[in-house]
Amino acid sequence: MSRSLLMRRLADVAGLSLLLACLVLPLAAPADSATPEPTAETPMTTAHDFSFTTIDGQPLPLKDFAGKTVLVVNTASRCGFTPQYEGLQSLWETYRERGLVVLGVPSNDFAGQEPGSEAEIKEFCTVNFSINFPMTEKVSVKGDAAHPFYAWARQQGGFLSAPKWNFHKYLIGPDGRLVDWFSSMTKPDAAKLRAAVERSLAG
């Protein structure tokens, strides 16, 4: 290769390198304009950032329960665990004056065991179990369609904390943080559940 041809090739390579640099550099964002990492102050970090609708169709922001311990339970009227309603009502009556809220969340996600309307669900709970703790409208509690509270609770507690059936329980502390969770098998009068409630109420 002649010296002149070699020089032209080197010039071509240098020119190509310069062109690439001009194309790539504008794509790189300046360091001081990078998107900040999420922090603990990012919105939707506690249960108090979420809201339900009551079984009667009224807004139910969970921030209304700030300072209280809340047991959130996905319920169903035609489930083998439906008798747990009785224990939930008893738990509510025992601890409500100390700051416990039991929140029933009807869901038809598991085997279609909550097919009725909100009015039918309310009547069933009132007639059969004299339920008077707060209840929400019927929502989904699993998968992509899950209510935002349930998506958050699963993220906070991990995969195993997601509801696997009706009457799964999330315990939320006075500050809105997830304290603990209990499977459907854990009855409302179970010693470990009551102990967790007592600890949360004690602060």
Instruction: Return the active site residues.
Output: 128
The CA dihedral of 147, 151, 152, 155, to the nearest 10 degrees, is 170
Amino acid at 166: N
Sheet containing 100-106: order of strands: 100-106, 69-75, 169-172, 178-182
Task: Render the burial of 44-78: b for 16+ CB within 10 Å, e for the rest.
Answer: eebbbbbebeebeeeebebeebeebbbbbbbbbbe
- Which two tokens mark 147? 């209510």
DSSP character string of 123-159? HHHHHHH---S-BBPP---SSTT--HHHHHHHHHH-G
Query: In whole angstroms, how far apart are CA 121 and each of 92, 158, 172?
Result: 19, 30, 24
Give yes or no for a contact between 100 and 173, defined as CB atoms under 8 angstroms apart: no
